[in-house]
Structure 1
């Protein structure tokens, strides 16, 4: 199958590329610069030459950004849209909101108008599009939506990222309902995503947001006290990549939203795993590891991902150990 992957240098997307290539799919990925594209190609052995290529899309929010990109010979059969900004260093909330929303609508429009061969589109959404931070339900599943508005995303920087993911995913489902294109849509909603990157980051600033926690632990940032857990759910990046692959390949997945989460966790568990497997970090942690888990914590239902996508989730210890080993090996 020939597949287009947007944002190929991203943390999740780079694992998606690896999963697709290992399952013998031909992949074209979008990147923001030729330098990023060349770095991706250089990370794969010669045996993948001809199976992986890139195209530069400097700004996914630009009108018509994907119109030419989705046209291919031989034509694309599937698209994985992972490109969306995720960082907390923005000056203007619109830096996060507009690329997420306009980029999603733009690629769906481009596929409908220019790539009739595409039969499945998979979009990387987030638990941020499900969660209701003010009033949690007893159990989270795919049926729930974050009630955040665009205006709240602009006014409250704490809500900007959640608004970007929620409104982008809502825009995708609205497009499907109104336009009735010739392809089916799947959205995937992961919480905290842990696990080793595919590519060694050139600097600490280039590390994905979730894995900055491990970096802080290794460099003494947890010495005085553990950081707050915040979101009590997690998944390994290899599982979310596999979810993208299966969401693309499994016919029953079409038209569905998937909550991709392994289990509950808290930073205390991460610290305990690090201490057990890497004794050299014991003095980088508080003498007493305190839990910040509330007495009453929401549950989760990930049964749809297990039944339809056949996911068997990796344990937290594997993810933490693999990530720290990767960061040690690359001297980050």
Structure 2
């Protein structure tokens, strides 16, 4: 596969990564994706992505353990850009050590391979951009005072402290927040210490909604917030309030911003940027039910009514995603469209 306009996407069979691959293919790039192993879900993804290219611009590389030293050496050969989207996720794990180690070492291992590739005499100046997929959880913490407006300048220091305090009794969602925060810190520290000459971007998206590019098997492995939509659409309970659930960004906007960051780095060498991605706030799971009942009246007997029109209590904090909005260069995809488009994918699968 030619190195010109070649992007590496780690964990390509993931929800956001699949959309990112499609976005780059539609933009004319060649895509190399890492997978743990060939599975039926990977084959489903390949069939879907083949719609977006001529059959010659997609390549898969098996990386069974993202935390192993040198595991990405083959994957980074000749790439113009790297989008690091692979990350360990488990909301049931209570021992933080394995997930923290995998998240941080997976990031530093990839970075070391990318750095070495960028400094090879025969490849010099080929690598222009590395994009790291962080999360709003690396920014948001409820310890901030009421009225605080979260921006890219904020960091979630509380999650890592909770991991240290609770040890092997840490809730899974706290481990996730801490692991992503630690991995992003490692991303920036490695780049600074190594004097990386390519552009570096961290994207910190709110909970991501929107249509899945393909439906995984089992359906329980859907991305968490998309699984909320699936469950509500099929008569499940409406989730309860949480501050993070009051924010959202559409998966297609996230994928587009990965592309925009790479294209910016091609024109602006050695850029260093962090972006908070929030397409709309406040939103709520009750809002998901309201949108679905209004948009699919034939399923009103299935979709729980809940408390129509109910919103979360007035949020004490706000989120400023203006910087990312400027990079996107258009309006964010709205909550209602994101929910409806997600449900249409479920209906389409049921009709097959």
TM-score, normalised relative to structure 1: 0.92
Aligned to 2:149: 139
Aligned to 1:5: 9
- Displacement of 1:230 in angstroms is 3.8
SS at match of 2:338: helix
- Displacement of 1:241 in angstroms is 0.3
Residue 47 of structure 2 is aligned to residue 42 of structure 1: yes
Select 2:280's aligned residue among 231, 250, 263. Answer: 263
Taking the aligned partners of 1:247 and 1:69, their CA distance within structure 2 comes to 20
Select 1:127's aligned residue among 136, 143, 146. Answer: 136
Residue 339 of structure 2 is aligned to residue 325 of structure 1: no
Taking the aligned partners of 1:233 and 1:200, their CA distance within structure 2 comes to 24
Residue 263 of structure 2 is aligned to residue 249 of structure 1: yes
Q: Which moved more, 1:212-221 or 1:18-27?
A: 212-221
- Displacement of 1:143 in angstroms is 0.6
Number of aligned residue pairs: give it.
Answer: 327
**Residues 280 and 76 (structure 1), Cα distance of their counterparts in 2 relative to 1, 3 Å cut:** same
Taking the aligned partners of 1:96 and 1:311, their CA distance within structure 2 comes to 36
Select 1:298's aligned residue among 304, 317, 320. Answer: 317
Select 1:102's aligned residue among 100, 105, 108. Answer: 105
SS at match of 2:225: coil
SS at match of 1:304: helix
Q: Which moved more, 1:240-249 or 1:29-38?
A: 29-38
Q: Deviations over 1:124-155 (max 9, x none)?
A: 00001000123355211111000036463363
Residue 326 of structure 2 is aligned to residue 307 of structure 1: yes
Structure 2 unaligned spans of 5+: 120-125
Q: Any conservation in 1 of the 2:233–2:292 contact (CA below 8 Å)?
A: no
Aligned to 2:87: 84
Taking the aligned partners of 1:83 and 1:193, their CA distance within structure 2 comes to 15
**Residues 48 and 229 (structure 1), Cα distance of their counterparts in 2 relative to 1, 3 Å cut:** farther
Aligned to 1:21: 25
Select 1:185's aligned residue among 194, 200, 210. Answer: 200
Q: Which moved more, 1:139-148 or 1:38-47?
A: 38-47
Taking the aligned partners of 1:202 and 1:237, their CA distance within structure 2 comes to 20
Taking the aligned partners of 2:235 and 2:18, their CA distance within structure 1 comes to 29
Residue 83 of structure 2 is aligned to residue 68 of structure 1: no
- Displacement of 1:287 in angstroms is 5.3
- Displacement of 1:300 in angstroms is 1.4
Q: Any conservation in 2 of the 1:226–1:289 contact (CA below 8 Å)?
A: no
**Residues 294 and 325 (structure 1), Cα distance of their counterparts in 2 relative to 1, 3 Å cut:** same
SS at match of 2:137: helix
SS at match of 1:118: coil
Alignment of 1:156-195 (within 5 A): 156-157=170-171, 158-195=173-210
Q: Any conservation in 2 of the 1:229–1:267 contact (CA below 8 Å)?
A: no
SS at match of 2:254: helix
Taking the aligned partners of 1:318 and 1:57, their CA distance within structure 2 comes to 35
- Displacement of 1:180 in angstroms is 0.6
Aligned to 1:216: 231
Structure 1 unaligned spans of 5+: none
Taking the aligned partners of 1:328 and 1:38, their CA distance within structure 2 comes to 21
TM-score, normalised relative to structure 2: 0.87
Select 1:227's aligned residue among 240, 243, 257. Answer: 240
Taking the aligned partners of 1:21 and 1:101, their CA distance within structure 2 comes to 29
